[in-house]
Structure 1
Amino acid sequence: MTSPNTVALVTGAAQGIGRATAIRLAQDGSHVVCADIQDCADTVQDIKAAGGSGEGVALDVRVAAAWADAVGDVLGRLGRIDYLANVAGVVNMISEDSVVGLTEEAWDDVIATDLKGPWLGMRAVIPGMIDRGGGRIVNISSLAALRGLPNLASYSAAKGGVAALTRQAAFEYAERNILINAIAPGTIDTPILADITPEMKQANANAHLIRRLGRPEEIASMVAYFFREGSFLTGLVYAVDGGWSAKGNF
């Protein structure tokens, strides 16, 4: 394959926000490396059916060696990674998620994917971006990073860490023309909500001023904006939350 104009690496691309982001970036003309611990074949198929360019790669974002292998392979074949979207994330499915009720196993599981993963991703791609004269990174944080929410202690800690790490990385690499931002979504209608009750799902919908859940495509459009248009934006934690952060209560 000859090197395309832009190459985007998207984690969590098998479903939800990651899938929508991969499809949107391909629509915008990037060759998209769809990375996930799950099979991304359906995402890649949809990208190609729409006339876009994409490929799937198995990636456990918690493992430094997996990042080194994946990034090294892409750089070796395509010569560049222009965009990184760190989307992969989990919620605690192991224990209660209050500060006292949270187990160490559950804490480690969430932190490894939701916070360590984005750090490892940035660490893996930034040297190549420096070599090529720049790049752009978007990390997915959460509204839970900005306010207290019920039973989300480990998730809030991880996503708060993503927000802080985004600001720090933006500070460190802006002079190298690497622009790094985070998006803090409200509640988005993805498979991560499959196990909550209909009543809780409705409560989350009602928490937004728009009074509905967000769609993965709406977050993907903001990722695409940061990549294609955000030439004077870095270090932001940008709430895409249907007005929830303006409302002031759950």
Structure 2
Amino acid sequence: MTVAFVTGATQGIGRATAERVAADGVHVVCADIQETATTVKAIEAAGGTAEAVSLDVRSASAWEEAVSGVLERHGRIDFLANVAGVVNMVSEDTVVGLTEEGWDYVIDTDLKGPWLGMRAVIPGMIDSGGGRIVNISSLAALRGLPNLAAYSAAKGGVAALTRQAAYEYGPHNILVNAIAPGTIDTPILGDITPEMKEANAAAHIIKRLGRPEEIASMVAYLFREGSFLTGLTYPVDGGWSAKGNY
């Protein structure tokens, strides 16, 4: 049995990823700080297999407990998708307006979380002969965007960490890549106005917001295909990164 561990699986890109990977016949461990029973039920209703795991990605001990449990039950983790992430809801997210609390809130989830996940999973991948890891970065890692200082730093760190881990663990047949989504229509956009959504859609060459399943399909490709790809961050952004202006 092939096993994938997906964080942030309650909603948005994480849930879409869990459902997409399960549709390929992979057993999915749906991990989130919130309950993931709804995601598991949806996967099972579609004929797949999944299980729910409670996980705070900021906690090293939580990662160790979750991963050791999966290894005890299944003997392996073949794929890891580090999807869980937040934006700064604590303070303004500019260099001057950012607070230490706001910085820590974003960095701990969006950058420390993927590091802890890779640290927990890679030893087992080495023991089993290899694996695939996909980290979710952001277009904010590649372009300067307003009011996203901590978020940009975290997602830029994800891209850099992805490159380094790919180099370090490539000899163990572990391929590590990242995806940089454009603006995706997920619950994280729930509080923005229709005008803001329109502005975000207009930034893309494809004049709409992305869908979670479009990111999930890229994760699935990097898991099951992509055998000569590692260490890179792939924009899935409706062409936004190809534009010469915002």
What TM-score, normalized by structure 2, do the two folds share? 0.99
Say what the alpha-carbon RMSD is for the aligned residues: 0.5
Q: CA deviation at 1:248?
A: 2.1
1:74 pairs, out of 70, 95, 102, with: 70
Q: CA deviation at 1:197?
A: 1.7
Which consecutive aligned stretches of 4+ in structure 1 deviate over 6 angstroms post-superposition?
Answer: none
Q: CA deviation at 1:213?
A: 0.3
Aligned residue-pair number: 246
Q: What is aligned with 2:190?
A: 194
Q: What is aligned with 2:219?
A: 223
Correspondences of 1:158-177 after superposition (within 5 Å): 158-177=154-173
Alignment of 1:86 onto 2:77: no
CA offset digits 1:9-59 (Å, max 9, x no partner): 000000000000000000001000000000001100000000000011000
Tell me the distance in 1 between the aligned counterparts of 2:92 and 2:157.
20
CA offset digits 1:118-158 (Å, max 9, x no partner): 00000000000000000000000000000100110010000
Q: What is aligned with 1:206?
A: 202
Tell me the distance in 1 between the aligned counterparts of 2:186 and 2:107.
20
Q: What is aligned with 1:14?
A: 10
> AA paired with 2:49?
S
Query: SS where residue 151 of structure 1 aligns?
Result: coil
Tell me the distance in 2 between the aligned counterparts of 1:140 and 1:57.
20
Correspondences of 1:1-250 after superposition (within 5 Å): 4=1, 6-250=2-246
Q: Which runs of 5+ in 1 are unaligned?
A: none
Q: CA deviation at 1:243?
A: 0.2
> AA paired with 1:222?
M
Q: CA deviation at 1:220?
A: 0.2
Tell me the distance in 2 between the aligned counterparts of 1:80 and 1:227.
15
Q: Which runs of 5+ in 2 are unaligned?
A: none
What TM-score, normalized by structure 1, do the two folds share? 0.98
> Percent identical across equivalent pairs?
81
Q: CA deviation at 1:69?
A: 0.2
